[in-house]
Amino acid sequence: MDILKLLNEIEAMVENTRHVMGVTLNFDQDTLLDLLHKVRASLPDEVKRATRVTLESEQIVGGAREAAEQTLDDAHIEAERITREARASAERTVREAEAQAARAAQTADAEVKQRLADSRQKADAMLDDATKQSQQMLAEAKGHSQKMVADATAHSQKMVADATAQSQRMLAEANAESQRLVNQSEVMRLASAQAREIVAAAEGEAHELRHGADEYAHGVMVDLERNVTDILATIQRGRTKLDQRVTGAPGGGTTNGAGRDLAGARR
């Protein structure tokens, strides 16, 4: 029988039912039930199988849910057991680590003392080497500066002597020329004026030569002072680095013979 036809008949029966003051009229309950039975009987086997599968799946889901809840409870119990065992193991590990740390601390203390002694010995050796190096640098710087001063002084004196000799020679030539011009009676006045000009020019040139020699000597002295200042700055930086190494070295508070020698060299 056609299921759609049966459903249409049920729909028409419901629509044709009249209600008067809450009372249903023209409604045949037996006919409706008979139609519903026919609909159920006319359902395809696939629908029936789907219904059974749905029921079975609900049962399976329910069983799985119960199994999952049981598994979750078992997991909680197992987790609590594992937590207790882990806590006990951790406490044992901590106690063992504390004991091992105590033993390691004793060993490390002896090793630190030995390293401290070695560091102090090495620092003393470094201080001695640095003191000798500083004293050698200071001696070399003094010798270099003294040589530079001597060379500059000798060169300056030579320039002054050359300028003086040249100025004297020019003055002598000017005086001779002046005397020669003066001896000529016909050009006495002109010779006298020209002689004065020559003497004045010679004196001016001699003054310029002396001034140039003085400026050159001054420049040499300035360069020498700059070089000596650079050398002293280099020595000061070396002393500063040495002070930092001596201050930062283990056992830096210990004063040995090399430290006293370095202090004397600084003074």
Query: Quick check: is 105 in a domain?
Result: no
Would you state the pLDDT for residue 27? 57
Query: Quick check: is 219 in a domain?
Result: yes
pLDDT tops 60 at residue 18 = no
Query: Quick check: is 70 in a domain?
Result: no
Q: Which residue has the higher pLDDT, 246 or 265?
A: 246
Count structural domains, the chain.
1
CA 172 to CA 183: how far, in whole Å?
A: 16
Residue 110: pLDDT band (50, 70, 90) is confident
Query: Quick check: is 77 in a domain?
Result: no
Query: Quick check: is 248 in a domain?
Result: yes
* Cα atoms found within 13 Å of the Cα of residue 140, Cβ hemisphere only: 9
pLDDT tops 70 at residue 48 = no
Query: Quick check: is 37 in a domain?
Result: no
- Whole-model pTM? 0.28
Residue among 250, 3, 34, 247 at smallest CA distance from 130: 247
Averaged pLDDT for residues 76-91: 83
* Cα atoms found within 13 Å of the Cα of residue 12, Cβ hemisphere only: 8
Query: Quick check: is 18 in a domain?
Result: no
pLDDT tens for 192-216 read: 777 778 878 878 887 888 788 788 8
Instruction: Show the domain range for 151.
Output: 132-266
Query: Quick check: is 57 in a domain?
Result: no
Q: What residues have CB less than 8 Å from 228, skipping those under 6 apart? A: 141, 145, 148
Would you state the pLDDT for residue 214? 80
Burial annotation 28-47 (CB, 10 A radius, 16+ → b, else e): eeeeeeebeeebeeeeeeee
